[in-house]
């Protein structure tokens, strides 16, 4: 039996696993934000399948303004179902297509608690590819001086030393 088809109640949250996921998600967001600060995003390629993702995204969500993504809007019952269908198109194409990924709501903001949401990886790709191709992410390098942010482990280590 496929483990993913089993009832969620059978699984407990593993704190170590959650911290590792959070560290990986933060590292991904840090690397991506630094890329936005470093290159002309119109030419940035996130996957070998960017053209396919962008084409399907524009077909399935032609009126979605990606400058600012309202989390409640994309996660309401109607849109959540549309996004699920969209994501499933890439199940056998994009590795870790459903992996939780941090995404900025507003293209003019950085990754902060107020401007970050959790989305499936292919949804992140779809929105960010559109933002890049439509030059919306080029504002980042004008607004921010990007530098590497400390990882969770670094922050925890610093907190231990301070106490």
Average pLDDT, the chain: 84
Instruction: Please state, in angstroms and rounded to a whole number, the distance separating the CA atoms of residues 126 and 55.
Output: 9
Give residue-wise pLDDT tens across range 19-49. 777 888 888 888 898 888 888 888 899 999 9
3-state secondary structure 37-59: HHCCHHHCCCCCCHHHHHHHHHH
What is the pTM for the complete model shown?
A: 0.78
pLDDT at 143: 82
Indicate whether 90 pLDDT > 70: yes
35 to 8, 31, 140, 141: CA distances (angstroms): 36, 6, 10, 9
Contact 107, 131 (CB under 8 A): yes
Closest by CA to 137, choosing from 46, 62, 72, 63, is 46
- 124 near 101, Cβ under 8 Å? yes
Cβ atoms within 10 Å of 78's Cβ, excluding its own: 8
C-alpha–C-alpha distance, residues 139 and 158, integer Å: 32
**Which pLDDT value is given to residue 18?**
75
Task: Give the percent of the chain with pLDDT over 70.
Answer: 79
């Amino acid at each position: 039996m496929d483990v993913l088809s089993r009832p969620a109640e059978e699984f407990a949250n593993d704190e170590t696993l959650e911290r590792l996921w959070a560290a990986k998600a933060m590292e991904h967001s840090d690397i991506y934000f630094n890329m936005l600060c470093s290159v002309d995003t119109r030419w940035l390629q996130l996957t070998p399948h960017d053209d396919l993702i962008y084409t399907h995204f524009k077909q399935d969500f032609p009126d979605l303004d990606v400058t600012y993504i309202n989390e409640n809007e994309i996660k309401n019952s109607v849109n959540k179902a549309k996004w699920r269908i969209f994501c499933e198109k890439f199940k056998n194409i994009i590795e870790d297509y459903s992996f939780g990924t941090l995404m900025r709501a507003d293209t003019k903001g950085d990754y902060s608690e107020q401007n970050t949401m959790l989305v499936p990886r292919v949804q992140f790709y779809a929105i960010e590819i559109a933002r890049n191709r439509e030059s919306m992410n080029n504002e980042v390098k004008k607004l921010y001086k990007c530098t590497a942010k400390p990882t969770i482990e670094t922050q925890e280590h610093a907190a231990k030393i301070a106490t």
